[in-house]
Copies of this chain bind each other. A is one copy, B any other.
Amino acid sequence: MIRDVLVRDVGPRDGIQSLPLPAVALDVKQRLVEGLAAAGLARIEAGSFVSPRAVPQMADSAALFERPLDSSVEALVVNERGAKAAADAGAQVLVGVVAVSDAFSHRNVGQSTAEAIAELERIASVARDRAIPVTVDLATAFGCAYTGRVSPADVARVAAAVAEFGVEEITLADTIGAAAPNDITDVVEVVRDRVGGDIAVGLHLHDTRGLGLANVCAGLDAGVRRFDASVGGLGGCPFSPGATGNICTEDVVHLLEAMGFGTGVDLDALLAVSAALEADLGITLPSHLLRAGPRFRAARPTPADGTGAPSR
């Protein structure tokens, strides 16, 4: 299959982390990661290497990196120790996070933005030693729950600082789901102008205000070809009040294929993974596709004449 656009599924880490305790069983997470890989998701954020006291849901992450898969199986880390543990476990990519908003950074990782950038340098150094790529997500790139608007110039400044460490990718995250499509256009352009063409800019979007897929389209128009999404739409951001809702992987894949972009993803297989996850977790996920199905798919019988209750 041709892959014009890359979708990274963050459900097993970002999504599962957002669920209330008790932690999801390891075998459920393993089935999820393997199902996503089999469905053609080329990159999967499978777990994190952070304090098990702070995030008990991810305490068993190492086990998710044991079995080799065709996909790139990636680990979120927030410090040098986590980076080493992730590399030891077999993570194929280290995912670092730096929040542009200082207030959010403190709440998120107990550090200022400057401290998080310094920490990222140490993470990047571990990645270089182990010959693993590091990818960096910039949180609150389109707004912060505590400080409101975030200036594109500040996003570009943090992106430029991060780019110093040999990072190949930067992902702009709409932590509170505040971006409108014109913001996507603006921030992507400002960041690209600042970091240059060697660093690929991706997007991590939330559907908090219904704009998730509109923002994907704005990203596509701006030339972005890499998007985060979460299977079933699982997850959100517990520290950004009201900021529920990663965009849903199957909804994104359906959109991309409808627009003529190849994703390399088998949509039916992905929907089966999402449905199995609903069954495993015992919850209804905010996936549109799980409810409505792919467009133009269902063969419905020719209906009888109606009695005149008009719709459109």
Cα A241 to Cα B295 in complex, Å, equals 12
Which of A53, A204, A310 gathers the greatest number of chain B CB atoms within 10 Å? A310
Contact A175 B108 (CB under 8 A): no
Chain A: interface size category: 35 or more
Contact A302 B146 (CB under 8 A): yes
Contact A217 B181 (CB under 8 A): yes
Contact A312 B178 (CB under 8 A): no
Q: Which of B242, B298, B306, B309 is in CB contact (< 8 Å) with A291?
A: B242
Q: Which of B78, B145, B173, B212 is in CB contact (< 8 Å) with A308?
A: B78
> Could you tell me which residues of chain A, from 59 to 96, have a CB within 8 Å of some CB in chain B?
76, 78
A303 CB–B CB distance under 8 Å: yes
Contact surface of A with B, Cβ cutoff 8 Å? 14, 17, 48, 50-51, 53-55, 76, 78, 97, 99, 103, 106-110, 137-139, 143, 145-146, 148-149, 173, 175-178, 180-183, 204, 207-214, 216-218, 237-244, 248, 251, 254-255, 258-260, 288-289, 291-293, 295-296, 298, 300-312
Contact B51 A137 (CB under 8 A): no
- CB-CB under 8 A from A244, the residues of chain B are 291-292
Contact B242 A293 (CB under 8 A): yes
Q: Can you name the residue of chain B whose Cβ is closest to the Cβ of A103?
A: B302
Contact A311 B218 (CB under 8 A): no
- CB-CB under 8 A from A207, the residues of chain B are 210, 288
Contact B295 A178 (CB under 8 A): yes
Least CB distance, A236 to chain B, in whole angstroms: 8
Which of A51, A291, A305 gathers the greatest number of chain B CB atoms within 10 Å? A305
Cα A97 to Cα B78 in complex, Å, equals 57
Q: Which 8 A-B pairs have the closest CB atoms?
A: A180-B258, A178-B295, A210-B288, A107-B303, A139-B312, A214-B214, A237-B311, A173-B312
